[in-house]
């Protein structure tokens, strides 16, 4: 078992140690939820959770926040930045926090690194210890930042969620075969609060296995991208409880066109039931998607401990 897989499989005790949020989002404020790479997809999921609780929020990549945050949020009145970074050192996220501080915008940091550069620009910090051997690919830390973000949004995440996530991961792993993973393209579909998780699943598989991946809102997939579907396509559908019926119809259409479908929370060639509602469903799915990426990397002879062109922390001049 390599470092990447260990980080995936051994993350669940860190979830149960994370504890309750020290403070909660203020419904009177608007939140710009900022991150880069994996962190911006976690930010997307956290922003959706805030919106579902009636709190204005928008996920914005760090570089976009620095250059043009008003293209995403029209003004700074009542604006609060929620910054996500595993290391607290990602250049764009740190710069985005510095820009916010200079503009008088309060900053809350969600990180796995105490005393980092990001925390120096933060008015408040939410931190959780991550797996000490986590490598370049974000696994346990991504789940932990999502967990902290959900709790910040006021969502109760009980320790039993970790057990359900681990069981789903194991069930998916036992059903995978090399033939299933020998595909030309991998598509991840998720709507609402699951869209960010779909994007993160696509990113994980892409960077681990150097495969062509993409992510879409489910029903949008019919509007053009479906033209690429054939027998070399694997589609992962993250079923949303509100639209599971429509998504099941789409899954059948894709199967009829030759795709193999993995259904997380709904039907597919491989189907895995999920009892969690939308509040915690993305968190439950995340480790399974991480392990799917690692299994695809192994099937293709790729070393996920050293993904091509990637470093653990992205630093730019």
pLDDT digits (tens, 9 = 90+) for 193-204: 999 999 999 999
- Both 55 and 79 in one domain: the answer is yes
Q: Examine the pLDDT at 75 and tell me if it is beyond 80.
A: yes
pLDDT at position 137 is 86
- Both 288 and 224 in one domain: the answer is yes
Q: Examine the pLDDT at 306 and tell me if it is beyond 70.
A: no
* Helices and strands, counts by H and E, the chain: 12, 10
Residue 70 in any domain: the answer is yes
Give the confidence band of 19 by pLDDT, cuts at 50, 70, 90. confident
Residue 280 in any domain: the answer is yes
Q: Examine the pLDDT at 223 and tell me if it is beyond 80.
A: yes
Instruction: Compute the distance between CA of residue 35 and CA of residue 63 in angstroms, rounded to an integer.
Output: 9
pLDDT digits (tens, 9 = 90+) for 33-65: 999 999 999 999 999 999 999 999 999 999 999
What distances in angstroms separate CA 150 from CA 11, 17, 115, 163, one per listed residue? 17, 15, 23, 17
**CATH number where 204 lies:** 3.40.50.10490
- Both 101 and 171 in one domain: the answer is no
Give the confidence band of 297 by pLDDT, cuts at 50, 70, 90. very high
- Both 167 and 234 in one domain: the answer is yes
Q: Are 239 and 264 in contact (CB under 8 A)?
A: yes
- Both 26 and 76 in one domain: the answer is yes
Q: Examine the pLDDT at 314 and tell me if it is beyond 70.
A: no
Residue 312 in any domain: the answer is no
- Per the structure, the complete domain to which residue 125 belongs is given by 3-152
pLDDT at position 317 is 60
Give the confidence band of 133 by pLDDT, cuts at 50, 70, 90. confident
């Amino acid at each position: 078992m390599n470092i990447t897989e260990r980080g995936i499989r051994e993350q669940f005790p860190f979830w149960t140690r994370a504890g309750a949020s020290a403070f909660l989002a203020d419904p009177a404020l608007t939140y710009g939820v900022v991150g880069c790479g994996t962190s911006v997809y976690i930010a997307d999921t956290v922003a959706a959770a805030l919106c579902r609780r009636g709190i204005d929020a928008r996920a914005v990549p760090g570089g976009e926040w620095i250059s043009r945050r008003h293209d995403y949020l029209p003004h700074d009145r009542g604006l609060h930045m929620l910054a996500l970074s595993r290391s607290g050192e990602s250049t764009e996220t740190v710069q985005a926090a510095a820009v916010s501080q200079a503009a008088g915008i309060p900053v809350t940091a969600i990180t796995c690194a105490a005393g980092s550069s990001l925390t120096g620009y933060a008015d408040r910090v939410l931190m959780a210890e991550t797996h000490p051997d986590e490598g370049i690919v974000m696994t346990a830390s991504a789940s932990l930042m999502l967990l902290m973000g959900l709790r910040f949004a006021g969502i109760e995440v009980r320790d039993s969620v970790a057990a359900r996530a681990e069981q789903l991961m194991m069930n998916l792993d036992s059903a995978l075969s090399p033939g299933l993973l020998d595909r030309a393209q991998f598509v991840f579909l998720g709507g609402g609060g699951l869209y960010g998780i779909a994007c993160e699943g696509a990113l994980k598989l892409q960077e681990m296995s150097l495969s062509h991946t993409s992510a879409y809102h489910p029903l949008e997939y019919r509007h053009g991208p479906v033209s690429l579907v054939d027998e070399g396509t694997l589609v992962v559908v993250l079923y949303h409880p509100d639209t599971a019926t429509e998504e099941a119809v789409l899954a059948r259409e894709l199967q009829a066109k030759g795709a193999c479908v993995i259904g997380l929370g709904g039907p597919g060639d491989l189907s895995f039931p999920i009892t969690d509602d939308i509040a915690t469903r993305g968190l439950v799915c995340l480790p399974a998607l991480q392990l799917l990426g690692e299994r695809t990397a192994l099937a293709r002879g790729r070393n996920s401990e050293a993904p091509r062109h990637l470093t653990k922390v992205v630093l730019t001049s």
